[in-house]
């Protein structure tokens, strides 16, 4: 009986611990997401919506608003998820409280009956008589063990009541906190939805003005994409030239698609690869406005935007920082574009595009977080860094490499 009670007590505490930890982990994960989206909105407001002096183009305004609306929707969704999880936790706690109260009532009744029974047979005389009336020593020993077990059983029943009472008190405290947290989340979401409605109305108004001459705007987007494609081609040419030169120097075939590396360069490449997901941002403050890959234009869904890297909106005069130790492979400049700096890290290349100033030159050895230039700001007050990562000449998704991108 003693082992059974101990088992029940341990199981009760263990199950409650696992259940609360699982719920807590879910809440922590959701809270981390909510904080992330809140910070992203703050950055967006600071970087994209504070320049009232410069008149942005309608296209830029819609791109900015689209981004903001998506982040706001994500924030509302994750806040809803948190509130719903809290509702489930509150309901579960309320059910558990009711169950615990019923269990406590039964336990206390049983414990009370046991104490009364124990009191009636409490005197030393009755215990001694119980032992002396044994037929032999073996039976006396068993009766003595029974008396001890019964005493332990009483103690463990009392401990189980204490544990359940404490758990009940904790659940009640937790319930009050959960209800307060849920009320805060609901209030926050109410404000977020009002802001979202305003932003969507502004978005619709801008889209209505574009629809009057959508073909002209679509033409501008295509022209911008052509300029980006031209820069991509130039970067590809420079990287392939460098690959061919490295293979020629090593006495290998110039048609090889990968760099011929020295032992030192191989080590740099391995170190770069081992830091995947932990590399620093190329600017101190920024939000990714255009992500890697092919995506629809927010202005005209029939127009595709191809991105070999990411485009990061940042602050005016923002300094560009190298994300890892390396050597400047090239400083490229097109006739109709701003300079691009390519930095080699073994068989990896990082590209920093749309610079207004360049602090480095080809062949310079650089270290992580070293300033290599400044981001260009256009006439509309938009400061956008193009950033890419290549393995040999193959583009990589920077979101998988840069910390929390």
Q: pLDDT tens digit string along 257-277?
A: 899 999 999 999 999 999 999
Distance CA 89, CA 30 (A): 14
Which DSSP state fits 318? P
Quick: pLDDT tens for 137-163: 777 667 667 666 766 666 676 677 777
Distance CA 339, CA 336 (A): 10
H helices of 49-57, in order, are: none
Quick: pLDDT tens for 240-250: 999 999 999 98
Cβ contact 233:315 at 8 Å: no
pLDDT of residue 170: 79
pLDDT(132) > 80: no
Domains and CATH numbers, the chain: 2-211 (1.10.287), 215-400 (2.70.70.10)
Quick: pLDDT tens for 13-43: 555 555 556 667 898 999 999 999 999 999 8
Closest Cα to residue 339, out of 306, 310, 376? 376
pLDDT of residue 176: 82
| Helix, strand, coil distribution of the chain in percent, nearest 5 | 60, 15, 25
Cα dihedral 325, 331, 337, 338 sign: positive
Q: What residue has token string 């209030």?
A: 187
Closest Cα to residue 318, out of 354, 285, 279, 367? 285
Q: What residue has token string 């990968």?
A: 258
- Mean pLDDT for 179-204 is 90
The model's confidence at residue 171, banded by pLDDT at 50, 70 and 90, is confident
Cβ contact 389:398 at 8 Å: yes
Quick: pLDDT tens for 363-398: 999 999 999 999 999 888 889 999 999 999 999 999
Cα dihedral 199, 204, 208, 214 sign: positive
Q: Which structure tokens are listed for 141?
A: 């020993």
What is the percent of the chain where pLDDT is above 70? 82
């Amino acid at each position: 009986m003693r082992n059974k009670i101990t088992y029940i007590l341990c199981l009760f505490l263990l199950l409650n611990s696992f259940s609360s930890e699982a719920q807590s982990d879910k809440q922590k994960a959701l809270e981390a997401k909510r904080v992330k989206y809140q910070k992203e909105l703050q950055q967006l407001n600071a970087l994209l919506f504070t320049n009232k002096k410069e008149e942005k183009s309608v296209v830029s305004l819609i791109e900015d608003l689209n981004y903001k609306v998506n982040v706001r929707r994500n924030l509302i969704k994750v806040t809803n998820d948190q509130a719903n999880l809290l509702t489930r936790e509150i309901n579960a706690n309320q059910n558990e409280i009711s169950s615990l109260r019923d269990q406590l009532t039964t336990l206390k009744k049983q414990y009370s009956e046991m104490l009364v029974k124990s009191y009636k047979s409490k005197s030393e005389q009755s215990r001694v008589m119980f032992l002396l009336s044994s037929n032999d020593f073996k039976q006396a020993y068993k009766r003595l063990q029974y008396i001890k077990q019964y005493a332990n059983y009483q103690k463990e029943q009392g401990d189980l009541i204490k544990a359940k009472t404490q758990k009940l008190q904790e659940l009640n405290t937790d319930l009050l906190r959960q209800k307060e947290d849920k009320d805060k989340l609901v209030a926050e979401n109410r404000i977020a939805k009002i802001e979202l409605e305003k932003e969507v109305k502004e978005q619709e108004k801008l889209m209505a003005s574009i629809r009057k001459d959508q073909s002209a705007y679509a033409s501008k987007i295509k022209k911008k994409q052509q300029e980006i494609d031209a820069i991509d081609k130039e970067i590809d040419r420079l990287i392939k030239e460098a690959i061919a030169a490295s293979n020629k120097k090593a006495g290998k075939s110039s048609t090889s698609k990968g760099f011929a590396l020295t032992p030192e360069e191989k080590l740099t490449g391995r170190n770069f690869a081992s830091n995947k997901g932990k590399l620093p941002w190329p600017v101190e403050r920024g939000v990714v406005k255009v992500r890697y890959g092919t995506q629809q234009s927010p202005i005209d869904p029939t127009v595709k935007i191809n991105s070999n890297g990411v485009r990061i909106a940042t602050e005016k005069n923002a300094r560009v920082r190298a994300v890892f130790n390396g050597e400047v492979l090239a400083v490229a400049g097109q006739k109709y574009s701003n300079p691009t700096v390519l930095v080699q890290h073994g068989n990896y290349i990082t590209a920093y595009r749309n610079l207004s100033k360049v602090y480095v030159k080809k062949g310079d050895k650089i270290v992580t977080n070293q300033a290599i230039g400044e981001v260009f700001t256009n006439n509309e007050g938009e400061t956008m860094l193009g950033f890419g990562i290549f393995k040999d000449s193959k583009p990589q998704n920077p979101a998988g490499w840069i910390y929390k991108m």
